[in-house]
Structure 1
């Protein structure tokens, strides 16, 4: 299947990957024949890209149905988790968090990072979707960085809860479309402390999870908040969630700005190595996540274009690209370029 901008989608094409609602449920299921009505509705909901079936890319499969199912269950539990924390109700917290742990166990044992990210979804409920996506990314990064399987729970739960303190921030500040005033930004900067306040009401939550919530906006150069901690003063788990939080946040539309391009989001993380982010964890990030999703249409510097069909681990900008000549009309007439070995060719952009 291939990933295309919605402006290139035509009636009659077959949806290749589920499209999710703002609460993580399936809005449109893979295999649906796309009509103009569906396409226009998705455009109005803010969907920019979607996967469609394509015979020339039938070996590119990006849907992990089991993980999608686990995400849906975990998504349903997030509001319950936040509610219990907000009202200081520790009873039933372990049961509420269990679906998140099941998802993390699956990622640890069966997860394929190339089939786990880049979900196609609407963004009416940014905070919950962002928390779930940050959790998934954090689990993959934690595994690469050598976090013990027994400790993965604290990383994932910390990621799910990292923004829980925003429930105490006035909604008019969170949803403000114009530049925040100094006073409003100072209030936003308190959300890690509000989160700690909520978490400490629940004796079931470990101190390591609390540290993730408290420190996920700290930076290794000391320019973060709320305390201005530096490097070793920040826990590894918080550093992991920090990277994934920033990457996911800038990769998605917000009320006050449009999302970054995929390569720009990636470059932001790399450029922050040693200043905003831990150097080793940025290297682990490169060894975990690719810039260009499987199936995406890219323009090459040799004036050809094609589709990403496979990633080269550790080389996020050097995937294998399948090039289909436009003048042959024969989908079986293609060649593949492994950019890891064809170093004179680079990807210029996503088409």
Structure 2
């Protein structure tokens, strides 16, 4: 399976991963042959990258059917909460928390970050996949930090509900196609407070998760919001979710800006170490997540292009790639692999 920019997808390519709607429904199913009409539809949905099947990369297996079902249920729950169809309080709230718990428990069980992230985001499903991805990343960061299972579970809930307060922010601000005015941003900055107001009504949501929701936009240099907290005034959950929130947000295409390249997003987090983000957490973040997702095509400093097939633990920007084409003629070659940990003279220039 390879991850391709939509402009490089060909008719008759086979879709490798489902494309979801905002409620977890499958809009385009994995295994479908991509006609020109389907490719156009993907572009209309705001899809810039999709996974397509490729027998030369069949060892890249990041599809987990159980995980898909659990994510669908959680996406539906988040959508219902956001649209006021269900409340986080009462029997509906219990059902939503159960959906999140099942997803979080399974993530902790499989312990494979490559299977848990990199779903196809559209304009419509961005909000809910972003919340789920922030929760998933927070879980893996928590496990890397050696946190107890119960604490990781609470951290995951915090990550998945971190933006719930946006329910109370006017839709015109949330969906604005462009930079917010100063007045609009002041309204947006209240969403962590709104999140506390909403979540505090459900006694089953841990206080630690609610505190993290309230503080996920605080920065250790005191330049965050809503309170301008500094250093250890910010809870551990707030610091962790804050890092994961920023990383997933900037690596996603939005209507008003293009996404950051993976290495740029990584550099953004690293450059914020000690100023915006806690230094220890940033170090653990670097050890936990890889820069380039499995299946993506990268261009090396010598002009060769290849697909990421494996990661080198502890070296997030030095994966193993598989070369399928001659980089000058684009003709298929007998594929071979390059381990960038062994080829120190080569670097990745960009994602294709």
Distance 2:60 2:19 in 1: 18
> What is the Cα deviation at residue 261 of structure 1?
2.0
Q: 1:82 to 1:20 in 2, by over 3 A?
A: closer
> What is the Cα deviation at residue 86 of structure 1?
8.6
SS at the partner of 1:319?
strand
| Contact map agreement 2:166 2:191 (CA 8 A) in 1 | yes
Instruction: Please list the CA deviations of residues 115-146 of structure 1 after superposition, one character each: whole Å capped at 9, or x if unmatched.
Output: 21111131214322221121111111111122
| Contact map agreement 2:86 2:92 (CA 8 A) in 1 | no
Q: 1:174 to 1:89 in 2, by over 3 A?
A: same
Distance 2:13 2:84 in 1: 44
| Contact map agreement 1:85 1:198 (CA 8 A) in 2 | no
Q: 1:283 to 1:77 in 2, by over 3 A?
A: same
> What is the Cα deviation at residue 265 of structure 1?
1.6
Paired residue for 2:18?
18
Give the stretch that moved more between structures: 337-346 or 258-267. Answer: 258-267
SS at the partner of 1:311?
strand
Paired residue for 2:113?
113
Paired residue for 1:344?
345
Q: Within 5 Å, which residues of 2 pair with 1:252-271?
A: 252-271=252-271
| Contact map agreement 1:165 1:196 (CA 8 A) in 2 | yes
For structure 1, which runs of at least 5 residues remain unmatched after alignment? none
Paired residue for 1:219?
219
Paired residue for 2:187?
187
**How many matched pairs?**
350
Distance 2:324 2:92 in 1: 55
**Structure 2 length as normaliser, TM-score?**
0.93
SS at the partner of 1:317?
strand
RMSD: 2.1
Distance 2:199 2:283 in 1: 31
Distance 2:217 2:261 in 1: 22
For structure 2, which runs of at least 5 residues remain unmatched after alignment? none
> What is the Cα deviation at residue 347 of structure 1?
0.6
Give the stretch that moved more between structures: 227-236 or 174-183. Answer: 174-183
| Contact map agreement 1:24 1:129 (CA 8 A) in 2 | no
Paired residue for 1:292?
292
Distance 2:345 2:48 in 1: 31
> What is the Cα deviation at residue 93 of structure 1?
2.2
Q: 1:38 to 1:152 in 2, by over 3 A?
A: same
Instruction: Please list the CA deviations of residues 236-294 of structure 1 after superposition, one character each: whole Å capped at 9, or x if unmatched.
Output: 11111101111111122334323222222221111111111111111111112111111
> What is the Cα deviation at residue 14 of structure 1?
1.4
> What is the Cα deviation at residue 25 of structure 1?
2.4
Give the stretch that moved more between structures: 141-150 or 16-25. Answer: 16-25
Paired residue for 2:314?
314
Distance 1:178 1:309 in 2: 37
SS at the partner of 2:338?
strand
Paired residue for 1:248?
248
Paired residue for 2:93?
93
